Structure 1
Amino acid sequence: MFSSATKIKGQGVGSAYTELIQLLKKYFADSIDVQINNFGRADISHYHTIDFKFYLSTFLPNRGRKIGYVHFLPETLDGSLKIPQPFKGIFFRYLISFYKRMDQLVVVNPSFIKDLTRYGIPRSKITYIPNFVSKESFYELPEKKKRKLRENVEIPNNKFVVIGTGQIQERKGVADFIELAYRLPNIQFIWVGGFSFGKITDGYNQLKKVVNDPPANLLFPGIVERKKMNEFYNLADLFLLPSFNELFPMSVLEAFSCGLPVVLRDLTLYQAIIAGSYLSARNVDEMERGIKELVGDERKLSELHNKALEMSTKYSEDRLAQRWYSFYKEQTEMVKQ
């Protein structure tokens, strides 16, 4: 495994990487020898991040099968980072060059297979394996514990709470999340996350002003350790992710695993992976209308709660373990051929 994803906290790439490492150690410790950032001989070299030293390592002998995890594409980085030209163009070309160095790519959303082929990568070199989360890390707490968590942060039990998570940036739709807090003053909004990449974050100056001086019903607790995130999800009545572009957000899977009803922006890419399990909204007006309709509608909330748990089973650690093992086994066989 090659990764620097955990060096920068509060990003989904690190969460996906951590989940996979935990899965392999839990299920296959006796059959798969996992080494982290070790440039020694290997049957498989699995690259999770695109560090330049990792790129150079692809030219070394004894790398085995080179596997690239596609967590983002050039188009999904727009709205995330402010990279001036010509550096933006250079970086995007480097990203695609990195992917082309791989023997096989793994995408977390099948809708991105077509995008990769447009960059000249053969379809035969692309495998779809979705993200997943462990039920040991994200799970629904009993009502008594939920009430206690609210008491700890001084949120009344009768207050409807909407939570969003992820980096604070334009692409995540945080500006719309803030707008909804202004429009719905009787609802408590919480956005868990921060500026993981500092001032180069797209929209930093405007968003930072609100983070420093939010409306009374909007909390920004900042970047939270992943092991504490389960508590934040269990504080809430509803999960809202107003992102304009995603691959397969880990935060949605985490919310599902905690049984939270989910509201998402109407993006085509979600239809391929979680269709029918969430409330869809095209813009901030529809998000406002959807939230208002859900407040007090126990039947609809219960329906979305059940759909969330169904999705959490579908994208659970248990179900994805065998798929990863089979994939690695196939790749190992190709090394021997």
Structure 2
Amino acid sequence: MLNINMFSTADKVKGQGVGSAYLELIRMLKKHFPNDFNIEINKHSKSDITHYHTINPSYYFSTFFAKRGRKIGYVHFLPETLEGSLHLPKPIKWIFYKYVIAFYKRMDHIVVVNPTFIPKLEKYGIPKSRITYIPNFVSKKEFYPLNNNEKNSIRHKLEYKDSDFIVASTGQVQTRKGVLDFARLAEANPDVKFIWAGGFSFGKITDGYKELKALVDNPPKNLFFPGIVDRDLIFKYYNIADLFLLPSYNELFPMSVLEAFSCGTPVMLRHLDLYKEIIEGYYVPFDNFNDMNYELKKLKNDSKYLSEMSQKSINASKYYSENHLASIWYDFYISQLKEG
């Protein structure tokens, strides 16, 4: 049996996709490979593989200890992808960014959730041979389509009408997420209901905090900010939504998109390079606010188009399913054991 020690604090702060991805992986490994992998969490014990999910300083120093086995790092972000998320003084930012890369370089091998990270990591001096791309995934037992009666029942409980056209988004309230564009779209479409589920996971150091906090405290009448909510309520929002819209300017591989796919909710995204490489054709793309506004109105007034995009979401969810990714993770861990 392969001993794998997971080091992570990703689930300490609610509302982060990194935490969702971490919990999904742990649950999947324990479910599919109970006789192949012995999974330990944050244990300073001997292991064949130590998989670091977050870059805590204590984890960095632990890499110098013996008996850690093969050291695997999970790369959910790069220094440049943090722009628009955190507001830090320049000296602290410079030190932190240097630390991020130093942490990744301490690993024997790293896993990226975003294939566009690979050439960027090479520029930081990490050989391509030490990098593997494995996408995120979601569980069909947690995120799945409800029937119309179930959806309408939830709508009524959440004080929405059957006839309401609902646009939902989830994620931290940050500048890079395009929250301000989301609010502007709500103002331009008073006949549509908007929901943004998420909050300020990083508090006042969130980039653009003052402006965003003012928006959350006083949003347009048709825009609701429920704050950071449990996954069960997130699941309900995906299902009552006619459209999932994420207007981010800079993304990694958002779990929210995969969760929306899994619920069969049509998806609209800013046409980022990341999406073009991994999910192009499965979502409605837009490049600017006018495109976003046009596509929203088109979807709202064309039920056939909306239905087609719902089916595309279902098709996309099959590739990023738990069963498919389980075999990929199994092969990866076994190959790393041989490397060690």
Choose the corresponding residue for 1:58, options 60, 63, 75: 63
Match in the other structure for 1:322: 327
Q: Using the alignment, how far apart are the partners of 1:141 and 1:105 within structure 2?
A: 37
Q: Using the alignment, how far apart are the partners of 1:243 and 1:197 within structure 2?
A: 18
Q: 1:317: Cα distance to partner?
A: 0.3
Match in the other structure for 2:3: none
Q: 1:78: Cα distance to partner?
A: 0.3
Q: 1:254: Cα distance to partner?
A: 0.3
Choose the corresponding residue for 2:83, options 64, 67, 78: 78
What do the CA deviations read for 1:147-203 (whole angstroms, capped 9, x no partner)?
A: 011101111111100001000000101010011011110000000000001100011
User: Would you say how many aligned residue pairs link Structure 1 and Structure 2?
Assistant: 335
Q: 1:296: Cα distance to partner?
A: 2.5
- Structure 1 residue 159 corresponds to structure 2 residue 164: yes
Aligned pairs for 1:157-306 within 5 A = 157-306=162-311
Choose the corresponding residue for 2:95, options 78, 90, 93: 90
Q: 1:229: Cα distance to partner?
A: 1.5
Q: Using the alignment, how far apart are the partners of 1:296 and 1:152 within structure 2?
A: 26
Q: 1:227: Cα distance to partner?
A: 3.0
Does the aligned pair in 2 maintain the 1:109–1:272 contact within 8 Å?
no
Q: Using the alignment, how far apart are the partners of 2:32 and 2:191 within structure 1?
A: 46
Q: 1:112: Cα distance to partner?
A: 1.1
Q: 1:106: Cα distance to partner?
A: 0.3
What do the CA deviations read for 1:187-237 (whole angstroms, capped 9, x no partner)?
A: 000000000011000111001111111111000011011233111111100
- Structure 1 residue 132 corresponds to structure 2 residue 131: no
Q: Using the alignment, how far apart are the partners of 1:289 and 1:203 within structure 2?
A: 27
Partner-residue secondary structure (3-state), 1:40? coil
Q: 1:285: Cα distance to partner?
A: 1.2
What do the CA deviations read for 1:272-325 (whole angstroms, capped 9, x no partner)?
A: 110101111001111011000110211111111111001100000010001000
What do the CA deviations read for 1:211-267 (whole angstroms, capped 9, x no partner)?
A: 111111000011011233111111100000000111111000000000011100011
Match in the other structure for 2:8: 3
Partner-residue secondary structure (3-state), 1:194? coil
Q: Using the alignment, how far apart are the partners of 2:46 and 2:123 within structure 1?
A: 33
Partner-residue secondary structure (3-state), 1:35? strand
Match in the other structure for 1:148: 153
Partner-residue secondary structure (3-state), 2:71? strand
Partner-residue secondary structure (3-state), 1:110? coil
Partner-residue secondary structure (3-state), 2:140? coil
Match in the other structure for 1:34: 39
Partner-residue secondary structure (3-state), 2:132? strand
- Structure 1 residue 111 corresponds to structure 2 residue 120: no
Q: Using the alignment, how far apart are the partners of 2:83 and 2:296 within structure 1?
A: 28
Partner-residue secondary structure (3-state), 2:39? coil
Amino acid across the alignment from 1:25: K
Match in the other structure for 2:29: 24
Does the aligned pair in 2 maintain the 1:99–1:105 contact within 8 Å?
yes
Q: 1:269: Cα distance to partner?
A: 1.1
Match in the other structure for 1:123: 128
Q: Using the alignment, how far apart are the partners of 2:71 and 2:315 within structure 1?
A: 34
TM-score (norm 2): 0.98
Q: Which runs of 5+ in 2 are unaligned?
A: 1-5
Q: 1:135: Cα distance to partner?
A: 0.2
